[in-house]
Amino acid sequence: MEFGWSDAHEAYRAKITAFLKKTLPADWDQIALHGPGSDAQTDYSRHFCKLLNDEGMLIPHWPAEYGGEDLDPWQQYVLGEELWAVGEPRGGQYMNVNWVGPVLMKYGTAAQREKYFPPIKAGEALWCQGFSEPSAGSDLASLRTLAVPADGGYRVTGAKVWTSYAGHADRCFLLARVPARDGGPAGKAGIVILLTDMASPGIQVKQIPALIGEGDIHEVFFDDVFVPAEDRLGAEGQAWEIINYALQNERVGIPRYAFSRRILDSTVAQLQEDGRFDDPVFQDRAGRALALTEAARMLVYRVVDSRAHNLPPDAFGNLARWATVNSDNGVNNLLTEYRPEGLLGADPMQQAHHQRAIAAGVASGAAEIQLNLAARRYLDLPSGEQRGL
Ligand SMILES: Cc1cc2nc3c(=O)[nH]c(=O)nc-3n(C[C@H](O)[C@H](O)[C@H](O)COP(=O)(O)OP(=O)(O)OC[C@H]3O[C@@H](n4cnc5c(N)ncnc54)[C@H](O)[C@@H]3O)c2cc1C
């Protein structure tokens, strides 16, 4: 891959940075520190996404027929890098534009797109992702939430956990399973995707206190919740294909390395100002962190390049996710060395990075699983089970 930014890409980046400079409030760092699911950041995201849309930068990479501007995948990444580097003012709405919308474009009905796209485009919609359950995380296919076919739809009963943004979300991209004919647990083929209205009777949301910030993760309970058939995405039996498509988008959807690099640079600058950067321990940690953030950036660019050429997903998507988690950890190692007393009261952005980095290797699926997927799908290596482990 030969890589260099074109003049158009550089101009686009400059447009975004100018917009951020003009738009972000003076206390934005404090808002970001509350966490991506907090009241403060959610309120701000609704205001910010509207302004972003007015500038044509909320969904610029969407096809024009859906209200986007047909921009190339690189421009989407430039936008993601710049927004993530300042702490992601879109809050949970980044999911709408990165993967909820694209999944609906590919698998949704015209009626679903008509229903869900206007609030996304207006910067008003907040979705949550109801995948994980108390005994189904990495092994997602073992999920148990039941969707029993009923007159005109499904009746859903079960529990989800670690659901980000559920406290504020209007819709849940919910995975449940229809009962197998023999009454036993069905496999992947039994999963359905229900685009569930979070205001439906029978849904209870309970916040879980979390290091990542206020209001970020939740338990969500479904007690005989009715979901109309028109809110099912795709056919019964098609869900696993759709989930894989959604996860491919989500895996490299967050350019974490951009935020890590910003924090790395600011921390090194502080160490230099304090006259402490001569210490070989700091130099070692900073050097490693720089190598990790650059490795993550390059691996993600490899994935973007494939997308720009319409190539099918390959192992680089899994490796890029693994590398971005490592870049977060590399910068966190420097930060904890720099402030062994803890980051409370530190620069708000350093603290926000620290909080988000700790969760990064588990949120969006445990990073270790990416190595399993790459080994099995692309290197043809046997699984532990096949090796009798
Ligand atoms: C901040 C945060 C936000 C989240 N947001 C959401 C959300 O919005 N929606 C949602 O549905 N979920 C969400 N999650 C849940 C997340 O997707 C799960 O935590 C993740 O998939 C791991 O599942 P688990 O917690 O059950 O851990 P487990 O699957 O039990 O894994 C525990 C550990 O075992 C390792 N492990 C498990 N199986 C294997 C294997 N086969 N090979 C090697 N190692 C293995 C894992 O790597 C991990 O280190 C969030 C989690 C966090 C921390």
pLDDT in tens, 68-96: 999 988 998 999 999 999 999 999 999 99
Q: What is the pLDDT of residue 380?
A: 87
E strands, the chain, are 127-130, 146-150, 153-161, 171-177, 191-197, 203-208, 217-228, 232-233
Q: What is the CATH number of the domain that holds 159?
A: 2.40.110.10
Place of tokens 């992601």: 88
Which ligand 1 atom is the nearest neighbour of the CA of 135? Answer: 26
List, by residue number, the catalytic residues: 250
Does residue 225 sit within a domain? yes
Q: What is the pLDDT of residue 266?
A: 95
Indicate if 119 and 175 belong to the same structural domain: no
Q: What is the pLDDT of residue 187?
A: 81
Q: What is the pLDDT of residue 249?
A: 76
Asked whether residue 353 carries a pLDDT value surpassing 60, the answer given is: yes
Tell me which residue range forms the domain holding 159: 129-237
Does residue 244 sit within a domain? no
Q: What is the CATH number of the domain that holds 69?
A: 1.10.540.10
Tokens for 67? 């209200």
Does 370 contact ligand 1 (Cβ within 6 A)?
no
Indicate if 365 and 281 belong to the same structural domain: yes
Indicate if 209 and 170 belong to the same structural domain: yes
75 Cα to the center of ligand 1, angstroms:
30
Q: What is the pLDDT of residue 322?
A: 94
Does 363 contact ligand 1 (Cβ within 6 A)?
yes
Tell me which of 103, 125, 147 is where a domain ends.
125
Indicate if 257 and 317 belong to the same structural domain: yes
**Closest residue to atom 49 of ligand 1, CA basis:** 366
Which DSSP string do the residues of 157-205 spell out, in sequence order? EEEEES-TTTTT-SEEEEEEEPPPTTSSPP-GGGEEEEEEETTSTTEEE
pLDDT in tens, 171-211: 999 999 998 876 655 688 899 999 999 999 999 999 999 88
Asked whether residue 384 carries a pLDDT value surpassing 80, the answer given is: no
Asked whether residue 385 carries a pLDDT value surpassing 80, the answer given is: no
Indicate if 161 and 185 belong to the same structural domain: yes
Indicate if 167 and 256 belong to the same structural domain: no
Tell me which of 192, 207, 237 is where a domain ends.
237
Indicate if 134 and 89 belong to the same structural domain: no
Does residue 27 sit within a domain? yes
Query: In the chain, how many domains are there?
Result: 3
pLDDT in tens, 98-157: 999 999 999 999 999 999 999 999 999 999 999 999 999 999 999 999 999 999 999 999
Could you tell me the pLDDT band of residue 313, with boundaries at 50, 70 and 90? confident
Does residue 82 sit within a domain? yes
Tell me which of 74, 104, 125 is where a domain ends.
125
48 Cα to the center of ligand 1, angstroms:
30
Q: What is the pLDDT of residue 186?
A: 67
Answer for the pair 63, 105: CB distance below 8 angstroms, yes or no: yes
